[in-house]
Structure 1
Amino acid sequence: MLTQKKKQQAEAALQSAKENMNTRFRLGYHIMAPANWINDPNGLIYFNNEYHVFYQHHPYDENWGPMHWGHVKSKDLVHWEHLPIALVPGDDCDRDGCFSGSAVDNDGELTLIYTGHHYIDKEKDIFYQNQNIATSEDGITFKKSNLNPVVAIPPQDSGHHFRDPKVWRHGDSWYMIIGNATKEEIGRVILYKSSDLCDWEYVGVVAESDGTHGYMWECPDFFELNGKQVLLVSPQGMKADGNKYRNLFQTGYFIGDYDYEGNTYNHGTFTELDNGHDFYAVQTFLDAQGRRIAIGWMDMWESLMPTKEDGWCGALTMPRVLTLTEDNKIHMNPPDEMDLLRESKTEAFKDKIIGESHLIETEEKLIEFQIELDLKNTNAETAGIKIRGQKDEQTVLSFEKSTGIFTLDCSRSGKRDDGIRRTQLYTDEVLSLRVFVDRSSIEVFINEGQATMTSRIYPENEMLGVEVFAENGTAKINDFNLWKLKDIWN
């Protein structure tokens, strides 16, 4: 009864905050909480013919605080419905927060596996963490297990970072990886094994930093893709390296081969998954079609978050389908279902030579556009796109042909400080872009997922349109189309 009362209080606080919220930057087709704070995606699962996404949530404030689990579901990955808060903290197993975790279908019982957070000294950030489960038969109402915590303490060589369990089934056993750090502050991922989700045996270390990959590995994920084993992690504490690792924390992957019997993972180097500003804590799941789908938190710790002034903060990325290339690179692309957002279409032009610029006018702030640049017939030093607003607001996507550097510049759309991100492309024939803009976000998919760049933007003025430009030469545009997208929340 106490848990139910807490949930009702949280829902009431959300409703009150929603009524007083400024909607100027609210997104139209991304997952957000109804109001107040959201961060990591949790518990991604396809269950009873519906997609479920949970998320880290503080229903009482627009800043991070005691973590609850918010909850949405969808039948098509596009149209989302808010559900009641799934988990509230405060029990002996999760006194100061229900931190990140995952979800599994245990013979028709939806089971959440999550981290309980406990402060010893909050001001000094001294804490301990454990792992817990909660179950549901209807996929909406959850009951915490009376066996919690199911993993009470980390291995003896651990520091206090011990969180974000990801659970899956292999053969007759359940496996769980957990983000961890040693006492010497070496980030790593550790493995547990169980027959029933309740009694867990520690197996050992799956992978760890070589000293350059940070002091803590958050939000791990471990799955097979095209015959290879992928380890996704979000390292804290990596140093910037040229155009790589420019954000406070990163999300990236290792590709390798894994032996369950010996717990040996032979893998390659760490590769950043997205090269924009706001992409973290990514989690994946398999859907009914066998697709490996990823969703991340579309913000970054210690970044500018002007929506806090409006009574809310945080969002999740669009879903992305992951594929693995023959050279062991992950490509991310929107699922086909994103086409359901399309309303009116503008066929801007085909086979057009651009000298200087050409503006396609639109006042819409929810748009998708696709453009293909013929590099063989382009002699401009730089070519690209400007998403333009009044008073010289603009978000700029540009490609420098001589170096292969692609740039996302948000410095004139709400990211005045540290507004630029760059990534190296390897292409000399065609540059194709598929770009989604949603009021205060931009997601760029380059050459069918060869690279992606995801950032929050905060334009305060009305839209003018999308401008194609070329500098010091001409650019050949093979095709350019633009769609107005629907707002699923209105």
Structure 2
Amino acid sequence: MDQQAVERIKAHEERVEQANAFLKQKVDELEEDSYRLSYHLMPPAGWMNDPNGLIFYKDEYHAFYQHYPYEAKWGPMHWGHAKSKDLVNWEHLPVALAPSEVYDTGENSGHGCWSGSAVDDNGHLTLIYTGHVDGRTPVEVQCLATSTDGLNFRKEAGNPVIAGAPEEGGLGFRDPKVWRHAGAWYMVVGFGKDGLGKVQLYTSENLREWRHLGVAAESDGTMGDMWECPDLFPLGSGDDYVLVISPMNMGTTKTMYLTGKLNYETGQFSYGYKERLDYGFDFYAPQTFMDGQGRRILQGWINIWGAKMPEQERGWMGAFTLPRELKLNADGTLRMEPVAELQALRGAHQRVNGLSIGADTEVTLAGVHGDTLELIAVFDVAKAGGAAEFGLLLRCSEDGTEYTKVVYSAAERKLSVDRTRSGAGEAGVSEAPLTPMADGRVRLHLFLDRSSVELFANDGVKTVTNRIYPAAASLGIKLFAEKGEAHLESLDAWVLG
């Protein structure tokens, strides 16, 4: 190894050590607060955004993420790192990547080791990421870093492995997602041009020399002008594939999925179905991986760009969603359900059966309260009044002025989460179309974790993910009905540890 290569390795190691030393000091200073999540993965301190490099490696789950350790705001991107044996309990590991090279380091904050993925290359945990430097030409390139111990990573001497976008005039060229098929490696990279989001497809025999196959898929003109964080993967027992994207400049729609077929010979992904992936405000940049049980698991960033983020004032920002298992229905629609391992969090249990809720009334659930709860509420829509709107009020204050409203409209067949009175964060109403299940019921499965609400409706046919920032003392749970009577068939509630 020549002296220049040795110096480059040393420079990266020094920057990683500096970040880890700062984090250790900062964590010791960070006080417990009512916004800090209890059972979600979040940074030990500083800033977190996109999930990166989600992988099941040597019988453990590894999660990397976009991270700025020095402040609770976006800055030069590092890769944070954590691992778990059960998807529930996470151990923070040293920072994996730090900006150190000409292709990922600049003079302003617009640089760093941007998003990417991870693969197991003959036992070597290999990270593939975008090197980004504002003002450099090209701005974005694709890079490689490897580890033999799953802890310490060395950037490839031959970086970048893809030295720029395949065509000029594009909007972005980032977020490589890599997978293996029939003995070869494949990669999709987010791109955009002429107002259309696209994914570029590449193939390689060794992860270091890549051949461009073309545009695998692009927007029909209605799905944003750049597709960030693309993830293309098989799902189900047949040859069905799913493409998950985070389209830019598409209004309230921040994530989508498309289902169809991938032709490896032509490099074309032909999609026949498209839909919004999650209907909440705070769900972005999801990434999936296959675990040792053959499950396709997804996690996303439970925040969104441009929103008010009250936790920043407390020295940290960002978290991952709960891990979700993906399942594909015969009609091409996708379901997301919380992984079964989360049931290990369940503590004290309360159950309510067969409760009628009069029109324009609220029912306080005296035995159900807290800021870390799992709730499963089943309503019989057939027994509700024709115009009835009903559901739950979460994190209610004693004086009734603060709450988050989860409501189902029987007439409009619409599910909503209203944050108008949720506390210090952003307001707004999330809405999702929802048809009752075949038995005429609506099943609402909710996870509350201090400053987050994740809602899985009708076994994950629709999900709604939001951050909320209520006062610490707002712990009540209520049922309600408006414009008609409602019938609660059952409600199960667990305190989560």
TM-score, normalized by the shorter chain, greater than 0.5 = yes
Q: How many Å apart are 1:127 and its aligned residue?
A: 6.3
Following superposition, the deviation at residue 437 of structure 1 comes to 0.3
Instruction: State the Cα distance separating 1:416 from its structure 2 match.
Output: 6.6
Cα deviation, residue 405, structure 1: 1.2
Matched, 1:220 2:247: no
- 1:451 is matched with which residue? 462
Letter in 1 for 2:355: K
Residue 411 (1) aligns with residue 411 (2)? no
Aligned to 1:333: 337
Out of 263, 266, 269, the residue aligned to residue 270 of structure 2 is 266
Give the SS at the match of 1:141. coil
Aligned AA for 2:119?
V
Residue 439 of structure 1: aligned partner: 450
Residue 382 of structure 2 is aligned with which of 363, 376, 381? 376
CA contact (8 A) 1:372 1:477 kept: yes
Determine whether 1:352 maps to 2:355: yes
Query: Which residues of structure 2 form unaligned runs of 5+?
Result: 1-9, 106-110
- Deviation string 1:8-34 (CA, Å, 9 cap, x unpaired) is 211122233323334221000111110
Residues 159 and 333 of structure 1: is their aligned pair in 2 closer, same or farther, counting only changes over 3 Å? same
Which of the residues 53, 61, 73 maps onto 1:51? 61
Query: Residue 485 in 1 paired to residue 470 in 2?
Result: no
Partners of 1:27 and 1:440 within 8 A in 2: yes
Tell me whether 471-480 or 229-238 shows the greater mean CA deviation: 471-480
**Paired residues of 1:129 and 1:160 also in contact (CA < 8 A):** no
AA aligned to 1:65 is G
1:143 aligns with 2:143: no
Task: State the distance in 2 between where 1:27 and 1:36 align.
Answer: 14
Q: Specify the alignment match of 2:3 in structure 1.
A: none
After TM superposition, the runs of 4+ consecutive aligned structure 1 residues lying more than 6 A away are none
Tell me the amino acid that sits aligned with residue 268 of structure 1: G
Q: Quote the offset at 1:160 in angstroms.
A: 5.2
| Match for residue 117 of structure 2 among 95, 98, 102 | 102
Q: Which residue of 1 aligns with 2:11?
A: 2
1:396 and 2:411 aligned? no
Cα contact 1:50–1:75 (8 A) shared by 2: yes
Per-residue deviation, residues 294-353 of structure 1 (Å, max 9, x unmatched): 000000000110111111111110000000111111110001100011111112x11222
2: CA distance between counterparts of 1:302 and 1:69? 22
Shift of 1:417: 5.2
Instruction: State the shift of 1:270 in Å.
Output: 2.9
* Match 2:320 to one of 290, 301, 316: 316
8 Å CA contact retained: 2:350, 2:494 = yes
> What's the TM-score once normalised by structure 2's chain length?
0.92
Stretch deviating more after TM superposition (418-427 or 401-410): 418-427
The answer as to whether partners of 1:408 and 1:421 remain within 8 angstroms in 2 is yes
Q: Aligned residues, how many?
A: 472
SS of corresponding position for 2:308: coil
Structure 1 residue matching 2:382: 3-state secondary structure: coil
Q: Is the 8 A contact 1:167 1:176 kept in 2?
A: yes
Per-residue CA distance 1:150-187 (angstroms, 9 max, x = gap): 111111245251100000001121001100122x3421
Structure-2 separation of matches of 1:264 and 1:70: 34
- The equivalent residue for 1:243 is none
The residue number in structure 1 matching 2:4 is none
Q: For residues 37-70 of structure 1, give each alpha carbon's deviation from its aligned partner in whole angstroms, at most 9, with x where no partner exists.
A: 0000000000000000000000011110100000
Please tell me whether residue 33 in structure 1 is matched to residue 43 in structure 2: yes
Which shifted more, 447-456 or 5-14?
Answer: 5-14
Partners of 1:47 and 1:416 in 2: CA distance: 37
Q: 1:203 aligns with which of 213, 216, 220?
A: 213
- Give the counterpart of 1:152 among 145, 163, 175: 163
Please say if 1:63 is aligned against 2:73. Answer: yes
Encode CA deviations 1:115-170: one digit per residue, 9 max, x unaligned: 0011217xxxx961101111111111111111111111111245251100000001
Note if 1:88 corresponds to 2:102: no
Answer yes or no: is the 8 Å Cα contact 2:61–2:84 preserved in 1: yes
1:286 to 266, 287, 290: 290
2-structure distance, mates of 1:271, 1:473: 32
- Once the 2 structures are TM-superposed, how far is the Cα of residue 390 of structure 1 from its aligned partner? 3.4
Equivalent position of 2:184 in the other structure: 173
**Paired residue secondary structure (2:23):** helix
1:417 and 1:313 map into 2 onto residues whose CA distance is 15
Q: Distance in 2 between matches of 1:24 and 1:403?
A: 36
Q: Percent identity?
A: 44
Contact 1:150/1:200 (8 A) holds in 2: yes
Q: Select 2:373's aligned residue among 357, 367, 374.
A: 367
Task: Tell me which amino acid in the other structure corresponds to 1:383.
Answer: F
SS at the partner of 1:463? coil
Contact 1:127–1:160 (8 Å) recurs in 2: no
Task: Give the equivalent residue in structure 2 for 1:471.
Answer: 482
| TM value normalised by structure 1 | 0.93
Q: Would the aligned equivalents of 1:390 and 1:461 in 2 still touch at CA under 8 Å?
A: no
